[in-house]
Amino acid sequence: MGNTQKLKRIIATDCGSTTTKSILIEYVDGEYRQTVRGEAPTTVEKPLNDVTRGVVNAVTELEELARLKYNDDSIKFIKDQAIWLSDKEGEGVDAYVSTSSAGGGLQMMVTGVVAKMTGESAERAALGAGAIVMDLIASNDKRANYEKIERIRQLRPDMILMAGGVDGGTTKHVAELAELVGAADPKPRLGSSYKLPVIYAGNTKAQDIIKETLGNKTDLIITENIRPVLERENLGPARDKIHDLFMEHVMAQAPGYNKLMSWTKGPINGKMTNIPIMPTPAAVGNIMQTIAKINDIEVLGVDIGGATTDVFSVFTEDKVFNRTVSANLGMSYSISNVLATAGLANILRWVPFDIDESELLNMIKNKMIRPTTIPQKLEELVLEQAIAKEALRYAFIQHKEFAVGLKGGQKKREIADAFAQTASGASIVDMMTLDLLVGSGGVMSHAPRRNQSVMMLIDAFLPEGITKLAVDSIFMMPQLGVLAEISEKAATEVFEKDCLIYLGSCVAPVGAMKPGKIALIAKLELPNGEVFEESIPFGEVRLIPCGVGETAKATLKPGKGLNIGAGKNQEISCDLHGGVVGIVLDTRGRQPFVLPVDASQRVPLLKKWMKEFDVYPEEIL
């Protein structure tokens, strides 16, 4: 971007379903830094019914904090109840960008001929574009046709993505699906003044039939086949169409968004240009893929929000990107559903004290109906983090099931593959090869102690071997994802310096043994000259301080039958990266990781681990 030198002050917001978060990015001493942040409740609900009110509130907070920071009362970002974009030096801001997941985000329905093949590709395209997939309707999904029609009618999605058939393949099934959609005559969720957008990205041979069946009833858009041959996916064109429609149709219907869309502007090639509002998850996905590519690593990221939990991953040498949304796992609107999904016992197994069951149930429901409140009491914080672990765990299970290799294609198998017994359709998520695990979302980024984020990540995801851990400092990945649209330089600089906070590394041998037996013989030469050396028994954790940007030279030998990445019983010598928390040696076992069911055995263990992790003040443990 040739004109980034003109960008001195940028405001970026993310309108979430609960909170609108704003950040200020400034060009200081030759580099872009994120300097101030603010937030306010999102205002898409009555009585305000206008998303821009929350944006103005969040930016007003920025303005006030910037005035305090620079002790300069003339700083002004808001003028006439709108964000003040000005090209005059020192006045207003130079650019404003935003992402959004308010109003329930982008809700889609997808169709495919075979659920596990074209159906899955359609689902991947929609999820990658930042949508929540309400349902996948496939010719072979075992529901009777009338049930499918009823379902389509009930759902009222924002748009439908139809896939099906490889190019030149069957047209009959695709035609039948189009007939079902036509018969259901679905109405868009927001308003009845426009036709429902339907994107067709299936067999090119069936395009005419689709036009005939759906051309009049829906706002039909035809694009390239997302699965032209079984062996290859072509998700890009469909994703782009979804983004265009998200702006034109869905966002334009949500309260206040027309106004907001007229505010998001930045200079492109020296001209102030409208910058489209991006769905939040799409922006986060952009950033995740960038990290994986720049550093050539495998990355797993999670964003736990109020309503939903998104998991993103980039695995394998080909850097295959996957995103899943667990639509009903979250920390506020959906908190009660975490309880319904995981069950009370699974939540309580992470709690190191007794609590009255009805009190806990009422607390969870109260959080659901007043989603913007935050835990003031320590006990409530511990409970919320226990719930978060379960929400993350379930979201990850769903992700592993979805992030699989392409099914149905002919795969060239080599002798090594035959020995490895890898089937097409197996999960590509491998915790042993994973390099970096990133957590974000309120409960993760705003945890009072970073040690809490470490423990939540480890307990929920159970990383194996050696894994670096990080959190998004104040949850600004979405804003940076959209900021890259006007200035990649600003986005990457801020990302590296202010966004990711490295927590440290986790070393976890895979396998199980009897408690007390030696699970890991570790020798760590720390940068300050100290040496940590211990034969750690099974069932323990150790936390060794090692700061950000520092590394420890480590020799790690797993106990008998255990593996830390080089194979069973194999020793590893490597550099372990530090972080704000440090290096965790976790010998509590993997595959399986087992917590005692009996509270009298479990609670002392939890307390011991929590003390070692230094997660909570002593008085509660």
Partner 1 sequence: MAQAYSPGLTVTKSIVLKKDRILPLKGKVLVKKGDKVKAEDVVAETLLPGKVVPFNLANKLGVPAEMLGQYLKVKAGDELKKGQVMAETNGFFGFFKTSIKSPLDGEIENISKLTGQMLLREPKIPIQVKAFIDGLVVEVVKEEGVIIENKSAYIQGIFGLSGERSGEIKMLASTPDEIIDPSKIDDSCKDKVIVCGALVSYAAIKKAQKVGVSGIISGGIDDKDLKKLLGYNIGVAITGHEEIGLTIVITEGFGVIKMAKSCFELLKSFEGHKASIHGITQIRAGVMRPEIIIPIEFKKEELKVEEAKMATLEIGTTIRVIRQPNFGLIGKVTGLPEKLTKVESETMVRILEAKLENGEKVTIPRANVEVIED
CB of 616 to partner 1, least distance (A): 9
Establish how many alpha carbons lie within 13 A of residue 42's alpha carbon, considering only the half-sphere containing its beta carbon.
25
Rounded Cα distance between 54 and 52, Å, is 5
Helix (H, G, I), strand (E, B) or coil at 578: coil
**Between residues 288 and 474, which has the closer beta carbon with respect to partner 1?**
474
CB of 161 to partner 1, least distance (A): 20
CB of 171 to partner 1, least distance (A): 8
Among 76, 217, 446, 608, binds partner 1 (CB under 8 A): 446
Contacts (Cβ under 8 Å, ≥6 apart) of 543: 451, 581, 582, 583, 584, 612, 613, 614
Sheet of 582-586, strands arranged across: 320-326, 309-315, 299-304, 436-440, 465-472, 500-508, 582-586, 541-544
Among 28, 340, 423, 531, binds partner 1 (CB under 8 A): 340
Among 7, 10, 13, 17, binds partner 1 (CB under 8 A): 17
Helix (H, G, I), strand (E, B) or coil at 456: helix
Q: Which residue has the tokens 């994703």?
A: 239
**Between residues 358 and 600, which has the closer beta carbon with respect to partner 1?**
358
Contacts (Cβ under 8 Å, ≥6 apart) of 95: 7, 10, 11, 85, 265, 266, 267, 275, 486, 487
Residues from 155 through 194 that contact partner 1 (CB under 8 A): 171-172, 175-176, 179-180, 182-184
**Between residues 63 and 485, which has the closer beta carbon with respect to partner 1?**
63
Q: Which residues of 584-603 are buried (b: 16+ CB within 10 A; e: fewer)?
A: bbbbbbbeeeeeeeeeeebb
150 binds partner 1 (CB under 8 A): yes
Number of residues that bind partner 1 (CB under 8 A): 69
Contact 267, 486 (CB under 8 A): yes
64 binds partner 1 (CB under 8 A): yes
Nearest residue to 485 (alpha-carbon basis) of 135, 111, 10: 10
CB of 410 to partner 1, least distance (A): 29
Among 16, 104, 228, 301, binds partner 1 (CB under 8 A): 104
**Between residues 345 and 415, which has the closer beta carbon with respect to partner 1?**
345
Among 28, 69, 72, 145, binds partner 1 (CB under 8 A): 145
Tokens coding 339: 């309880």
Q: Which residue has the tokens 């998850």?
A: 281
Residues from 344 through 403 that contact partner 1 (CB under 8 A): 358-359, 361-366, 368-378, 380-381
Mark the segment that binds partner 1 (CB under 8 A) among 85-93, 141-149, 514-522, 585-593. 141-149
Contact 125, 237 (CB under 8 A): no
Q: Going residue by residue from 23 to 62, which x/- string records binding to partner 1, judged by CB under 8 A? A: -----------------xx-xxxxxxx---xx--x--xx-
Mark the segment that binds partner 1 (CB under 8 A) among 337-345, 410-418, 456-464, 572-580. 337-345
449 binds partner 1 (CB under 8 A): yes
**Between residues 246 and 321, which has the closer beta carbon with respect to partner 1?**
246
3-state secondary structure labels for all residues of 262-328: HHCEEEECCEEEECCCEEHHHHHHHHHHHHHHHHCCCEEEEEECCCCEEEEEEECCCCEEEEEEECC
Rounded Cα distance between 142 and 606, Å, is 45
CB of 68 to partner 1, least distance (A): 7
Residue numbers of the site for partner 1 (CB under 8 A)?
17, 40-41, 43-49, 53-54, 57, 60-61, 64, 68, 102-104, 144-146, 149-150, 171-172, 175-176, 179-180, 182-184, 209, 307, 328, 333-334, 336-337, 339-341, 358-359, 361-366, 368-378, 380-381, 446, 448-449, 617
